[in-house]
Structure 1
């Protein structure tokens, strides 16, 4: 019989500030593996005990004071295999692990890129583009091992991935140059966008809503910034994909919600 395995990805926007909803998510969804981005905590003060109480005894942390930070928490054995510096400045934005079945999970937090889509006027935007170029170099050189690439990509690539394509064309996360570079990343290793495999365009599929909205649900000005891609051999094993949208309405939420893919290996 195939073994089922569920993998979740969630930009938590400070794991210590969201402990209550993290625990609720673990109770209600209980994914086998949880990839977190923007944990905003050093490894020594990561709330590891909460996860152990829920059976996540395998933990690979890559933390940083106040900003960034990624982590992979798992009920099944995982082995760390890389921490790549695609930002080229030491920021904690990536961690990768291997499962016993040989599948690699690469958890990434792509920089947001600031507010102005011009690398001359806004160096943060240039850093984002350079980060993605380094990812393309990595992806192009990958061997043939089965791999899952997931996390907060901070880009909504398709017209239907945002509430208004026309109004967001010059807004960072949906500009043509960002969408083009993400398309090149996807093509560099024939990555399968599992969200759009299960919810083909133009179906609504948002994962992020701004804190600025008075009522995020009523205005529904969402974007699909969080993604789970995989090599075709892994995509064949995927049996479901969900965006856990109600989490956005929980107490003191992140502006992102979890995405969960289930596999039958």
Structure 2
């Protein structure tokens, strides 16, 4: 039976690359987006060209009603929820914590922490066998920033991803007995649009050259790791924090 996955922030970057790879593996993919409908529609079309089924789903992960509606839409269209790629996240311009305003901090933690927790909660409610589900898998997208701290750049972003790591470990222990595996992928310097949104479009290329592998990573390389964690090949992997950092 075809499996169905919700990918938050699925219209660009790592989310988009994961959607396309899962489409090529025959999955039904819910492509969540917050603002850019055109990008989500383009991603959905590419998923279908790759061999999967696709649905675009609008929603702000920091809004509880939106999150519930996203999962409802996936179930209405595909009849089931087998997996969540908890990918939606934001970053703000580089600066020291001492210079950050409350509005920035609140929005970042609302999306990156509250949003991740709400989506994981809803997935656990629907997939856990003791709640009527059939089991499944959650992959949370964290960041190497969680262990590096991102000083002078994004201490707030790093802290938000630290929360995602902790949630991954705790939730894996809660829902493992109910047939749900929970893991996190921690990308390093990946060549995606998120660096430009932080005001440093060349950041990945510049710092990636300093990694042991001598280059930044690609969204496709992270997607391969995510798809493996969702697959039966990773059937005994849960509670793991898997770095995709080129050795950084």
TM-score (ref. length: structure 2): 0.49
> Which protein has the bigger strand share?
1
> Which protein has the bigger helix share?
2
